[in-house]
A and B are shown apart, each in its own frame.
Chain A
């Protein structure tokens, strides 16, 4: 049995004070000068270690406080209060919520799974991925030996085209050729960012991270510079310019190349493969109502990998956009129907914000997925989108140290990997490849609603 895939984690401290959900408001005026101030009794010594970060004028009180309320309750003159922090509520937006962002920060800082404590206080259902539940029935299996212990669960997936049958020649010799296949130990690749501050450091963080984790980062053709070349075995070159401008040597070092749909991607795929037959070619499609048909047509013509991307909210294009999981299901089932699903790899991306989204999109039919914004959040991004508007980044991501960034990314991916193992273990599935398309092991809110309520309200 091959060694277990393991991601090394470490505590990687924040560069900036984090924005916390609540803050301490302590009045000085009215202090009774007690012989022993309650502030001295804080077990976390929050008041003693207090400092002010002048880049953001944030008091360390807020991020260090563990919300025990001891000081609040014990000050005899009620001078210490805890209040909700409005800056926390202003983080991100309706999709990239403050809870998601702060959860990603925690994982990137510690490499650990966020634990919410006893019970789950959130809603039972919601839009998007929240309208889907996975079957965790195997969680109680008594023989379970611990997914982090001796039990082996693989998260490896393949990127490339697969042959469905071996072709034999007249003398019984094998004549079919096996197309190139790239294995990644985690079903995740790093995609281009929808927005980010300028400079190369963010990209370098991604590349260091991709190399350390054994996966890939998509880099635009125009962004291939000498610093990126060193990482070519972990780069997916996205051909967004003239393919003729790509230097031949790139083809020999790169293992995967991505081309946009439109024009004749299959002809381009053939052209690239004639230069390096070991190259895997991926076709990038904007997810939309026509994707199921288009995906089938491309696979029928020989496409190897389709990268289906939604926007940063997980929505496809069009006037009445579907959420990525809905369309992914449809694409997958259409390809199953046509009998070609196993020939090609599907990678889904856009709106993947949490580890559970990863498992859920795979259940909906993706072999692997691409992520973008969470990697930036791992490096303290607040999803304020100031960079998109040309305003300075409040956490100075343009000058981020790529090594620090890559450690944060590795931590986040380690936490996601552990969560994927938890989900697979609880579902009784031993490998991520087997999770793909396992819709029978999940429940979808819309389906349940239809099944339960369809017959009601029908008169006569």
Chain B
């Protein structure tokens, strides 16, 4: 796959309500990229805790995404709004310790184009990399 973020370890947290067949749909990518991509389904994006995001960076991710449902489409009503706040908070925390805030990013789906988890992930992988290998990882 022509991946622009080649060499980067990507961790994707996502709301499972986005794609009911997520477990099947993500397999081709898991096979192609092996340990370079890790998917963590959440029952709701609002279930994310800043600790999840920090732990992901700590355990070797260069980029951490949280994919939430479109605004107004959260099954738990405000999970995605709360997720936004938590991502903001985690970004602030990592900036304080000298990491780029952009290593954590919230992606919100659009209601108009419901997508499967693999197509969303592929789009993310095709984007120009804004960050390089994480200093957490390079220090080993």
Contact = CB atoms under 8 A, between A and B. Distances in A.
Are A and B physically bound partners?
yes
Interface stretch (A52-60, A286-294, A429-437): A52-60
A90 B59 CA distance: 26
B80 to A, nearest CB: 12
A23 B48 CA distance: 13
Interface in B37-67: 40-41, 43-44, 46-47, 49, 51-52, 55-56, 58-59
A52 B55 contact: yes
A389 B76 contact: no
Given A52-B51, A57-B13, A392-B34, A90 B22 contact: yes
A27 interface: yes
Contact of A54 (B22, B59, B76): B59
A392 B35 contact: yes
A440 interface: no
A361 to B, nearest CB: 30
Given A52-B55, A56-B40, A86-B41, A23 B27 contact: no
A84 B79 CA distance: 15
A90 B34 contact: no
Of A54, A384, A386, A389, chain B has the most CB atoms within 10 Å of the CB of A54
A52 B40 CA distance: 13
Nearest to A87: B41
A85 B44 CA distance: 9
Given A86-B20, A87-B41, A25 B55 contact: no
A29 B50 CA distance: 13
B16 A86 contact: yes
A441 interface: no
A67 to B, nearest CB: 15
B85 A29 contact: yes
Contacts of A54: 55-56, 58-59
A390 interface: yes
Interface residues of A, number: 23
Contacts of A90: 22-23
Interface residues of B, number: 30
Interface in A1-42: 23, 25, 27-29
B43 A86 contact: yes
Interface string A79-113: 00101111100100000000000000000000000
A57 B30 CA distance: 17
Given A86-B20, A386-B30, A391-B31, A29 B47 contact: no
Interface of A is mostly: loop
B16 A391 contact: no
A23 B52 contact: no
Contacts of B20: 86
Interface string A252-288: 0000000000000000000000000000000000000
Nearest to A56: B40
Nearest to B79: A25
Contact of A57 (B16, B40, B85): B40
Nearest to A57: B40
B43 A85 contact: yes
Interface of B: 13, 16-17, 20, 22-23, 27, 30-31, 34-35, 40-41, 43-44, 46-47, 49, 51-52, 55-56, 58-59, 75-76, 78-79, 82, 85
**Those 9 A-B pairs whose CB atoms lie nearest each other, nearest first:** A86-B16, A57-B40, A90-B23, A54-B55, A54-B59, A391-B30, A391-B31, A23-B43, A85-B43
